[in-house]
Amino acid sequence: MDDQLLKVLRQVAPGTPLREGLENILRAKSGALIVVGDNERVQAISEGGFVINAEFTPARLYELAKMDGAIILSEDLKRIVAANTQLVPDLSIPSSETGIRHRTAERVAKQTGALVISISQRRGVITVYKGNLRYVLKDLEVVLAKANQAVQTLEKYRSILNQTMVNLTVLEFEDSVTLYEVTKAIQRTEMTLRVVREIERYICELGSEGRLVVMQVEELASNIEEEGLLVIQDYSVVEDKTPREIMAMIGSWPAEDLLDLTLMARALGYSGGPRALEQGVSPRGYRILQRVPRLPLPVIENIVRTFGNLSRILQASIEELDEVEGIGEARARLIKEGLKRYWNQIVQERYR
C-alpha cells in the first residue's frame, strides 16, 4: 500500500502538469472527476461523452472540467482521451463516501484499478483513489510543516543511531559484544528508516516544493540501510534468509514488536527469553572491513571465510593476511593500517 501511495503522490505532485491542471480547477471553485487510464475495464463502464484524443495540457483539463461528467486521461498522462463521460460502476461495490462524485470515484477505482481523482466543488478538496486506496491531498503548507518537523526528528534519531553504532564498534574491537548491543543497533536502524520513509511520503506529496527537504534527507539518511544490513550479516545465524530478507521482515513489524529486543534476537536466529540478550556474540567482520579503503567485496569475503570472525582478523599478522587469496603483502599492510586508523577514529568519536 505504501509503494502504491508513493506512486500516486508522484503523479499528482506539485510541479507536474496534472497537478497544475487540478490547481486551476480548484482556484476556479469547480469540481471534477478524472480517470487516469483508458483500459478495457474503464471503457466497459463509460457511456456517452465526447472523444477528445488531444494532447494533455493543464489549460485543456481546466476547460473540459467545466462540463459535467468525467474526463478520461491516458495512462501516461500525455493525452486527454474523452470528456463529459458518464461512468456507471457496479453499485454493489461498497463505498464510504456520501457525495455522488466521490462515491462514483471510489467505485470506479475499486472496479477498474485505475487512478481516479475527485475534486469537491463545495469543499475545495482533491481526493485520489486507486484500488482500495483513498487519500486526501493536504494543503502544501501543512505538508511542508510536517516534513520539516519529521526532518528534525530524523536528525535526533540519526544522532542516537550514530552513537549506538560507535558503541557497538568499540565493543567489537574489544571482543565484548552482547546480543543486546546488536539488537539495539538493528532496532535503532529500523526506527530511523521508518522516519525516512515517512518523510519520503511528504517529499512525494510536495513535489517540486520539497527540494530543500530532499537535500536534507539525502544527507541524514546516507548509508543507514547499508550499515544495518552489514550488522545483520555480521551476526545473523539464520541460514535460509539473506540480510535483506531479515531486514524486510523486521520492517514489516508493527511498532510495538519493534520495541521487543528478544523478538529481534529471534529474527537473527537466536532463541531464549530476555536473558538471551546477555550472551556474548562475535561479529564476522563484514561491517568493520568495509571501512578499510579500497578493499573489494570478494577480498572481504575471503578474509571472513579464512578467519571466521573479527577477533581473529584483528589478531592476524601481515604474513597470515598475505596468505589469503586476493591479498598480497602490500594489501595486507593496507588492511592492518586501515583497521588501526578506524579504531583511532572510533575512540575519538566515542568521547566527543
pLDDT tens digits, one per residue of 296-338:
999 999 999 999 999 999 999 999 999 999 999 999 999 999 9
pLDDT band at 352 (very low <50, low <70, confident <90, very high): low
Confirm if 289 and 300 have CB atoms less than 8 A apart. yes
Q: Is 90 exposed, middle or buried (0-12, 13-18, 19+ CB in 10 A)?
A: exposed
Residue 85's closest CA among 55, 126, 43? 43
All 3 cell numbers of residue 10?
508522484
How far, in whole angstroms, is CA 252 from its chain's centroid?
12
pLDDT band at 64 (very low <50, low <70, confident <90, very high): very high
Lowest mean pLDDT among 261-265, 308-312, 347-351: 347-351
For residue 1, pLDDT over 60 is answered with no
pLDDT band at 122 (very low <50, low <70, confident <90, very high): confident
Confirm if 26 and 61 have CB atoms less than 8 A apart. no
Residue 244 confidence (pLDDT)? 97
Residue 202 confidence (pLDDT)? 94
Residue 350 confidence (pLDDT)? 74
How far, in whole angstroms, is CA 75 from its chain's centroid?
25
How far, in whole angstroms, is CA 215 from its chain's centroid?
16
Residue 54 confidence (pLDDT)? 95
pTM to 2 decimal places? 0.84
Confirm if 126 and 12 have CB atoms less than 8 A apart. yes
pLDDT tens digits, one per residue of 78-103:
999 999 999 999 999 999 888 899 99
For the chain, the residue count is: 352
pLDDT band at 147 (very low <50, low <70, confident <90, very high): very high
pLDDT tens digits, one per residue of 174-218:
999 999 999 999 999 999 999 999 999 999 999 999 999 999 999
Residue 275 confidence (pLDDT)? 86
Report how far residue 204's alpha carbon sits from residue 217's, in angstroms, rounded to the nearest whole number: 13
Q: Is 23 exposed, middle or buried (0-12, 13-18, 19+ CB in 10 A)?
A: middle
Quote the DSSP letter at residue 139: P
The CA-atom distances, in angstroms, between 298 and each of 117, 228, 283, 323, 333 are 50, 20, 18, 15, 18
pLDDT tens digits, one per residue of 218-252:
999 999 999 999 999 999 999 999 999 999 999 99
294: left (phi over 0), alpha (psi -120 to 50) or beta: left
DSSP bridge pairs for 134: 129
- Rounded mean pLDDT of the chain? 94
> Mean of the pLDDT values across residues 142-152?
95
Report how far residue 108's alpha carbon sits from residue 96's, in angstroms, rounded to the nearest whole number: 13
